[in-house]
Amino acid sequence: MEDEEEPQEEDDDDQAKVEDEEASATVEWESEGEHEEDEDVNALARFMTTANAELYVLSKGVLRYLKGVKSRKIVWCASRVKFPFVPCELYAYSDASWADIVPQRKSSLSYLIFCNNAVFSWKASLSSVLAVSSAEAELIALCACAADVAYCRKLANELGFLQLRPTVIHEDNLGAKQIAESGNFKGCSKHFELRWRFLHHYINRGIVTIKAIKRDLQLADIGTAPRGYPQLRQMGAVIHGEI
């Protein structure tokens, strides 16, 4: 009897393996496109090739959440655009979490680009280089956002939605804002200049402008670290253009 039961056990193991592979593939796919669960999905996707039982349980929790909100839509509506912006004008939010990835000590970055009261382009990922200060981590995120904004502005102009004013990028780190605007890459920040000088040129050319905001108004914050459900629900409504 024992010999007859072995094939059944092997079938169960094979089925479990297939389910785990499907969960792994789905989480990796979602990491490329989801924004409301950016931090959770982005973190899980880093370990899907060497995942353990605990990570698979967490990934299935993310999938259950996504299944529950799959009917939610992004609503672009020109009549809902709020002052000081105007319809078809781009604006963005950029944020970073310094050296939060252990043991590599890379920083998480996130940005959201909006048009007509809702997000249409976003990213949450690890920074490409190590940052030695919180200002540098925020500057890296700003540069990633500015590069995407420059592309989106060109695309919008080609489609006939002329961007007549610099695109506003909302930032909650005053150090990064001052370095980008002044271009004063000296002393401890001299090494920034080799990679991030172009952001200062974008500001001088009128492509982007940086606006300081409080952290509780920073919508890109949900892409850099786990946040509670009340904050996720409130910011999610703004990001989807529901309010």
State which of 47, 68, 89 marks the end of a domain. 68
Write phi, then psi, for 114 (nearest 5 degrees): -110, 155
Q: Is the separation of the CB atoms in 138 and 97 below 8 Å?
A: no
Domain match, 112 and 167 both: yes
What is the distance between the alpha carbons of residues 219 and 112, in angstroms, rounded to a whole number? 8
Could you give the number of structural domains in the chain?
Answer: 2
Task: Give the pLDDT confidence of 25-83 residue by residue, as tens digits.
Answer: 444 444 444 455 556 676 777 776 777 888 888 888 888 888 888 888 999 999 999 89
Distance CA 211, CA 28 (A): 33
User: Are 60 and 32 within one domain?
Assistant: yes
Mean pLDDT in residue range 115-144: 91
pLDDT of residue 146: 96
Evaluate if residue 1 carries a pLDDT over 50.
Answer: no
> pLDDT band at residue 219, thresholds of 50, 70 and 90?
very high
Query: Are 144 and 191 contained in the same domain?
Result: yes
Its pTM stands at 0.78
Same domain, 43 and 126: no
State whether 54 and 104 are in the same domain: no
For residue 194, the model assigns a pLDDT of 62
In a shared domain, residues 62 and 147: no
**Do 103 and 26 have their domain in common?**
no
Task: Name the residue among 192, 185, 1, 162 with its Cα closest to residue 90.
Answer: 162
> Does residue 196 lie within any of the structural domains?
yes
Do 42 and 86 lie in one domain? The reply is no
Q: In which domain, by residue range, is 21 found?
A: 2-68
Domain assignment present for 73: no
Please give the pLDDT value at position 29: 40
Q: Is residue 219 part of a domain?
A: yes
Mean pLDDT of 175-192: 76
Phi (first) and psi of residue 42, to 5 degrees? -60, -40
On whether both 63 and 84 belong to a single domain, the answer is: no
Band (pLDDT 50/70/90 cuts) for residue 127 is confident
pLDDT confidence band for 232 (50 / 70 / 90)? confident
Q: Please, which pLDDT band fits residue 4 given cuts at 50, 70 and 90?
A: very low
Q: What is the CATH number for 173? A: 3.30.420.10
Q: In the prediction, which pLDDT does 192 show?
A: 63
**Do 170 and 92 share a domain, yes or no?**
yes
DSSP the chain: -HHHHHHHHHHHHHHHHHHHHHHHHHHHHHTTT--TTHHHHHHHHTTGGG--HHHHHHHHHHHHHHHHTTT------GGGPPTT--TT-EEEEEEEEEEEETTTTEEEEEEEEEETTEEEEEEEEE-SS--SSHHHHHHHHHHHHHHHHHHHHHHHHHTT----SPEEEEES-HHHHHHHHH----GGGGGGHHHHHHHHHHHHTTSEEEEE--GGG-GGGGGTS---HHHHHHHHHHHTT--
Q: What percent of the chain has pLDDT over 90?
A: 44
pLDDT of amino acid 32: 43
Residue type for position 192 = F
